[in-house]
């Protein structure tokens, strides 16, 4: 099948399957997460179609698509405003379990992940261990056939909606900090586990702190051997960094700015699009976004030729997030006072009231403030620069 | 994926890299700068023998049929080794214009000489007070019985002192709807009566001239391209020239980053290599990222020009704007991280800096290309590649 035929098949499916409410949830995204209920509804639709995990090997429920087809699928979903599926299970834990999990773990967890029965969150960061993740202290102590976990995890995205969490825990204190870490799967219903929501700057809850107070977990839930968790996690971080395509996001941001600049007036009477100072600022960011688009194509080319992204994936993470933030700033300049208005109810799909101000400014402020996190999560911009300094420049 | 180099292209890069590494040291380059000619005539002859000068001409002109990608591959290496020889001026600009638009008689007489490196050319397209706008042309060419008579003055004619021939832009008609209308291009031999030169050096170690034209009479055969519409011929040549200088910039930036990484590892202060300081490490990473983004744009732009993509001109504007910014960022920080030694004439870093300063504003500065990008991007959106 040619890529063009594939693309039109995907488009036809999206046109038929995206209900207005699901689509609205995608339009109203103000961070990497969309409305939970709408997202899970979309997850189940994709599952029924067999398209929920295109990146997985076919034998585990993947689609068998080429790299190019997967890219097209991702692009078309975003352009059609489909909500992004939660990545923690499908994008992160799934590929890792396929690589390191036991046969029993794969058989039990993978189908539940595909169907959406299990919703996973990630327990890595701790109040005292962020960029220096290896200094984590949440401890798992062996007791018969179980581990007993005590400690706390923080910045756990959507823990309030999850029924499972995968964690890095300390199982040894000797040697290098990395050498005493294990990777373990925990049921969120287990006694002693509690979730405390953290209210973000936009007034909504995406992050949580998760507390472990004598939480008893079967030793069979270890992934990889005891004290080998760091290697497992490292492979996962590669999935996290390699798995995102920024160009589509940037194009959508650019389209939004075009729309805002073509409808809103700037000082002195004309539209923003006719303000030469503003146009130059847009062009400045757009040129960098174009350069990043071609860099992503270089990486895609390297993958297709059987190579890997190497440290270009760190470059893409840094530049992709920083360019995205610059687009947010441009939108905020246009929408200005309209962006002040906090109307969280209008950001929920199915809202039937009258929103205040132009609809193109509804999400502007929330996107701007929420996107500051983009250069912090998934390896901060500074950590990424450290990686490039070490691995590419050999400093 | 659009960027796949052919075996020939890989060979071209490797052989250029190898030749220049072994035969084009910074010291010999500096010695050539101090000579009267300002470059090494033997090197130029070798470039011709290696086939580099013929690389991008059509096969029927006795070239090898290469395009913007080949221009890019060569110029990237020229930038890396700070090559002085007038490839841009004589081959890309004048060679390109002659091949695209010269009358058969001129083409036959001069093109093979340009390709063989026996003749040199210079493109005289700028006038005083308006270097940002090559369509500002007050030099006139009036019709005469058997051709044209030119009067006026051109400024900063790169490679002017070495040129055997010039291509001069002159006004033959009124400014139309578009300011580039009414301008024609003329091929003029340096010995033509009425033509006089004032020659000088440029900060990047090259030479240029002011060109005076006083009743310079040329025949009909001197017209290059269409009458009143010289920019139809010049515009694609300018695009190719921008790819050339931007590739040179990428090569120069690569060399600067490598030198800076190397220097900060060796240089010890406060009892340690200064490359251990995070503020310097991150600075060098930012240099690296600027270079890689520019390289991606460069490769894509060259490819799009060769494939006549609808958004090729948009990409040229983006590339030139990006080079303006990246060139400054990388060269400023290379000088800064080298400290005092970076500000001296004896050390290579400052010479790369000067070349990048020149490239950054040549053929339109960053701002002019950003506004061009703005205009073009409202006319078309970038196609998926």
DSSP string, A298-362: HHHHHHHTT---TTHHHHHHHHHHHHHHHHHHHHHHHHHHHHH---GGGGSTT--SPPSS-GGGT
Task: Point out the least confidently predicted range of A149-158, A163-172, B177-186.
Answer: B177-186
Query: Taking phi first (over 0 means left), then psi (-120 to 50 degrees means alpha), and beta for anything else, what does residue A176 get?
Result: beta
User: Which of B256, B374, B379 is the best substitution to test chain A (most A C-beta atoms within 10 A)?
Assistant: B374
Tell me the backbone φ, ψ of residue B256, rounded to 5 degrees: -65, -45
Q: Is B371 exposed, middle or buried (0-12, 13-18, 19+ CB in 10 A)?
A: middle
Minimal Cα–Cα distance from B340 to chain A, Å? 21
CA B121 – CA B96 distance, rounded (Å): 11
Contact between residue A222 and residue A232 where contact means Cβ atoms under 8 Å apart: no
B278 has a chain A CB within 8 A of its CB: yes
Interface touch B296/A295, C-beta < 8 Å:
yes
Q: How far apart are the first and last CA of chain A?
A: 46
pLDDT at A238: 59
Domain with CATH 1.20.140.10 in chain A: 243-391
- Of residues A76, A206, A240, A333, which has the active-site annotation? A240
Of A283, A382, A393, the CB nearest to B370: A283
pLDDT at B382: 42
- How far apart, in Å, are the Cα atoms of A348 and each of A25, A30, A31, A49, A208? 7, 11, 13, 26, 20
Minimal Cα–Cα distance from B252 to chain A, Å? 17
CA A175 – CA A219 distance, rounded (Å): 22
Minimal Cα–Cα distance from A371 to chain B, Å? 21
pLDDT at B2: 56
Interface touch A389/B382, C-beta < 8 Å:
no
- Residues 325-384 of chain A with CB under 8 A from chain B are 382
pLDDT at A233: 87
* Whether pLDDT at A323 is above 70: yes
Q: What angle in degrees, to the nearest 10, is found between the helix axes of A276-304 and A312-340?
A: 150
Place A378 in a pLDDT band, splitting at 50, 70 and 90.
confident
B124 has a chain A CB within 8 A of its CB: no
Catalytic (active site) residue A296: no
All residues of chain B having their beta carbon less than 8 Å from the beta carbon of residue A318 are 289
Q: Is B227 exposed, middle or buried (0-12, 13-18, 19+ CB in 10 A)?
A: middle
Tell me the backbone φ, ψ of residue A293, rounded to 5 degrees: -55, -45
B326 has a chain A CB within 8 A of its CB: no
Count of helix runs (H) and strand runs (E) in chain A: 13, 8
Domain with CATH 1.10.540.10 in chain A: 3-85
Contact between residue A228 and residue A100 where contact means Cβ atoms under 8 Å apart: no
Kindly report, residue by residue over A287-304, the tens digit of the pLDDT: 999 999 999 988 888 777
CA B230 – CA B233 distance, rounded (Å): 5
Minimal Cα–Cα distance from B56 to chain A, Å? 24
pLDDT at B383: 43
Homologous superfamily of A120-227 in CATH?
Answer: Butyryl-CoA Dehydrogenase, subunit A, domain 2 (2.40.110.10)
Interface touch A290/B315, C-beta < 8 Å:
yes
In this structure, which long-range contacts are made by residues B371-379, counting pairs with CB atoms below 8 Å and at least 24 apart in sequence? B371/A276, B371/A279, B371/A280, B371/A283, B372/B317, B373/A283, B373/A286, B373/A287, B373/B314, B373/B317, B373/B318, B373/B321, B374/A279, B374/A280, B374/A282, B374/A283, B376/B311, B376/B313, B376/B314, B376/B317, B377/A283, B377/A286, B377/B314, B378/A273
Of A280, A298, A386, the CB nearest to B371: A280
Of B4, B264, B292, the CB nearest to A312: B292
Q: Which fold has domain A3-85?
A: Butyryl-Coa Dehydrogenase, subunit A; domain 1 (1.10.540)
pLDDT at A67: 85
B201 has a chain A CB within 8 A of its CB: no
pLDDT at B328: 98
Copy the structure tokens of residue B26: 């910074």
Q: Which fold has domain A243-391?
A: Butyryl-CoA Dehydrogenase, subunit A; domain 3 (1.20.140)
Average pLDDT of the residues in A74-99: 93
Task: Point out the least confidently predicted range of A262-276, A296-310, A354-368.
Answer: A296-310
Domain with CATH 2.40.110.10 in chain A: 120-227
All residues of chain B having their beta carbon less than 8 Å from the beta carbon of residue A288 are 293, 322
Q: Indicate the SS3 state at residue B201.
A: strand
Place A241 in a pLDDT band, splitting at 50, 70 and 90.
very low
> Could you tell me which chain A residue has the CA closest to the CA of B320?
A287
**Along chain B (385 residues), what's the average pLDDT of each consecutive run of 10 residues?**
80 97 97 90 96 95 95 98 98 98 94 94 97 96 96 98 97 88 97 97 96 97 97 98 98 98 97 97 98 97 95 97 98 97 95 98 96 86 44
- ipTM score of the complex? 0.93
pLDDT at A1: 83
Tell me the backbone φ, ψ of residue B183, rounded to 5 degrees: -110, 135
A286 has a chain B CB within 8 A of its CB: yes
Q: Which of A209, A193, A180 is nearest to A149 (CA)?
A: A193
């Amino acid at each position: 099948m040619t890529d063009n035929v594939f693309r039109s098949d995907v488009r036809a499916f999206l046109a038929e399957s995206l209900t207005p409410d699901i689509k609205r949830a995608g339009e109203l995204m103000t961070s990497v997460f969309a409305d939970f209920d709408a997202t899970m509804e979309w997850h189940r639709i994709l599952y029924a179609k067999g398209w929920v995990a295109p990146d997985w090997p076919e034998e585990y429920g993947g689609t068998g698509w080429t790299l190019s087809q997967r890219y097209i699928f991702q692009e078309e979903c975003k352009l059609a405003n489909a909500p992004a599926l939660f990545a923690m299970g499908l994008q992160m834990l799934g590929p890792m379990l396929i690589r390191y999990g036991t046969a029993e773990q794969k058989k039990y967890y993978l189908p539940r992940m595909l169907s959406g029965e299990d919703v996973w969150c990630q327990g890595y960061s701790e109040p005292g261990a962020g960029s220096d993740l290896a200094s984590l202290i949440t401890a798992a102590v062996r007791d018969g056939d179980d581990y007993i976990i005590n400690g706390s995890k923080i910045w756990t995205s959507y823990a309030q909606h999850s029924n499972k969490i995968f964690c890095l825990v300390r199982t040894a204190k000797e040697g290098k900090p990395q050498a005493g870490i294990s990777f373990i799967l925990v049921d969120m219903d287990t006694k002693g586990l509690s979730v405390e929501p953290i209210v973000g700057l936009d007034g909504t809850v995406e992050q949580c702190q998760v507390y472990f107070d004598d939480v008893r977990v079967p030793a069979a839930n270890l992934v990889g051997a005891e004290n080998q968790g760091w290697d497992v996690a490292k492979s996962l971080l590669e999935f996290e960094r390699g798995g995102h395509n920024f160009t589509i996001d940037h194009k959508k941001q650019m389209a939004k700015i075009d729309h805002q600049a073509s409808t809103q007036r700037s000082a002195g009477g004309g539209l923003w699009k006719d303000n030469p100072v503003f146009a130059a600022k847009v062009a400045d960011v757009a040129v960098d976004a174009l350069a990043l688009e071609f860099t992503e194509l270089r990486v895609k080319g390297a993958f297709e030729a059987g190579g890997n992204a190497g440290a270009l994936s760190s470059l893409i993470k840094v530049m992709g997030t920083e360019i995205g933030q610059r687009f947010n700033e441009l939108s905020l300049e246009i929408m200005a006072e309209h962006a002040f208005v906090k109307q969280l109810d209008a950001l929920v799909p199915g809202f039937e009231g009258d929103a205040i101000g132009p609809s193109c400014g509804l999400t502007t402020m929330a996107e701007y403030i929420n996107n500051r996190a983009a250069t912090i999560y998934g390896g901060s911009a500074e950590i990424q620069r450290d990686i490039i300094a070490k691995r590419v420049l050999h400093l | 994926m659009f960027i796949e180099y052919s075996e020939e292209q890989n060979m071209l890069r490797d052989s250029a890299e190898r030749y220049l590494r072994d035969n084009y040291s910074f010291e010999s380059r500096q010695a050539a700068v101090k000579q009267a000619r300002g470059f090494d005539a033997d090197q130029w002859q070798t470039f011709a023998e290696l086939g580099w000068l013929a690389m991008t001409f059509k096969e029927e002109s006795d070239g090898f049929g290469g395009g913007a990608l080949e221009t890019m591959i060569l110029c990237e290496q020229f930038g890396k080794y700070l090559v002085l020889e007038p490839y841009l001026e004589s081959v890309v600009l004048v060679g390109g214009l002659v091949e695209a638009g010269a009358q058969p008689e001129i083409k036959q007489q001069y093109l093979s000489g340009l390709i063989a490196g026996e003749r040199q050319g210079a493109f005289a397209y700028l006038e005083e007070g308006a270097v940002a706008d090559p369509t500002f042309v007050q030099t006139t060419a009036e019709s005469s019985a058997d051709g044209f008579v030119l009067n006026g003055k051109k400024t900063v004619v790169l490679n002017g002192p070495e040129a055997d021939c010039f291509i001069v832009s002159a006004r033959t008609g009124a400014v139309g709807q578009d300011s580039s209308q009414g301008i024609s291009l003329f091929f003029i031999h340096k010995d033509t009566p009425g033509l006089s030169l004032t020659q000088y050096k440029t900060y990047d170690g090259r030479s240029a001239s002011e060109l005076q034209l006083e009743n310079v009479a040329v025949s009909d055969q001197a017209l290059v391209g269409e009458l009143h519409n010289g920019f139809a011929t010049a515009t694609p040549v300018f695009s190719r020239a921008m790819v050339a200088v931007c590739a040179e910039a990428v090569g120069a930036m690569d060399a600067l980053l490598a030198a800076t990484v190397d220097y900060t590892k060796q240089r010890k202060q406060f009892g340690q290599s200064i490359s251990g300081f995070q503020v310097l490490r991150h600075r060098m990473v930012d240099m690296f990222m600027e270079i890689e983004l520019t390289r991606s744009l460069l490769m894509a732009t060259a490819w799009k020009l060769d494939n006549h993509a609808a958004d090729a001109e948009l990409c040229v504007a983006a590339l030139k704007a990006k080079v303006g910014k990246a060139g400054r960022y990388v060269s400023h920080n290379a000088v800064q991280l080298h400290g005092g030694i970076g500000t001296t004439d004896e050390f290579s870093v400052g010479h790369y800096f000067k070349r990048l300063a020149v490239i950054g504003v040549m053929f339109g500065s960053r701002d002019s290309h950003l506004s061009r990008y703005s205009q073009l991007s409202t006319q078309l959106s970038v196609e998926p590649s």
